[in-house]
Structure 1
Amino acid sequence: MRPQILLLLLFLAVLPLSAIAARGQGWKQIEDVDDPRIKSMGEFAVADFNRKTHAGLIFKAVLTVTDDVVDSEKTGYLLHLAVEGDPPSCFDTVVLEFRWLDHWEVLYFDSKSC
């Protein structure tokens, strides 16, 4: 085979891999935990947990939040939440945002030390 054809085949094989690697850039810290949208996401996660478990937790605050762009249509958010309950505690939750649907889905919700 000609070297040019081999180089072209190699380029065509690597191009899709670079597109896949560009997805999911890694978790990035969001500084503004007081953003109303972030607060609403935390309230949504607590309400979803209460609906599923009848726990009666009360949302207090988002302590930290990071995000990771999954693809052009979805972003994952990792929120560390302070809640009132018996006893008051903290929880980590992962919320997936579907941008084209304007919809959130809670993927994970579990207690975490404060």
Structure 2
Amino acid sequence: MLITSLTLLLLVACAQSSGPASNKPSDWRQYGKEEALVGYVKQTEQELAAEATVSVTNEIYSAYSDGYEQGRAEYCKQDPKILGKKGELYRGICDELRPTFRTWYNNGKASRGRSLY
């Protein structure tokens, strides 16, 4: 019984979000922003439609896209070296906005195991 409960909890925790269950553009704008703020790659309209529980119209995708770009700009302002040093996963969403982001991220990631004596 305990194993079944733990398995169910793990499955729920790992499930990807299918987006808001509403047709309100403001909800989809917020969803796009939140996706970018955690570093997820922007979904295409087809990918979003395949996962969504509502019909993804041009208006909804545009709102998602606007929110995503706003969140991406904010995400890419962080120090990539710290992101790497913390061991966070970087999916490449800043490569176009800040071409050196990945290099600094990798430098931070490489310095994780180092300590000063």
TM-score normalised according to structure 1 size: 0.25
TM-score normalised according to structure 2 size: 0.25
Larger radius of gyration: 1
Name whichever structure is richer in helix by fraction.
Answer: 2
- With a CA cutoff of 8 Å and minimum separation of 6, indicate the structure with the bigger relative contact order: 2
Name whichever structure is richer in strand by fraction.
Answer: 1
